Amino acid sequence: MAYAVLTLAIVFEVIGTSFLMLSQQFTRAWPTAAMAASYLVSFYFLSQALKFLPLGIAYALWSGLGIILTLGIGILVFRQVPDLPAVIGIALILAGVVVINGFSQAAGH
């Protein structure tokens, strides 16, 4: 259950970040409102996940997977292609998420 709630938090964080791009520095009302609502929903679900997961683990997964998914949105939707150092950095973040989920006893498995 904790990971389902955390997944919802991650999805809404990625949606919010995508609308942040579309808000054009808060100059467009509807994308700005959608961004704010998405972030509120994301933080709500993150707070619910914290009932079951340690703060550090939940935040590491929320931010790490959010970064990776946002990179995908940036590439597919906004045509923002990362350079090699960015790809290496993202790969290291992904490796950290895998290590936490696969090997850490603190992850609450």
The mean predicted confidence, pLDDT, of the chain is 93
Query: Contact 86/67 with Cβ under 8 angstroms?
Result: no
Exposure of 5 by Cβ count < 10 A (0-12 exposed, 13-18 middle, 19+ buried)? buried
Q: Is the pLDDT of residue 92 over 60?
A: yes
Number of domains forming the structure of the chain: 1
- Domain extent at residue 47: 2-107
Q: Is the pLDDT of residue 109 over 80?
A: no
- pLDDT at 108 (0 to 100): 59
pLDDT mean over 24-49: 98
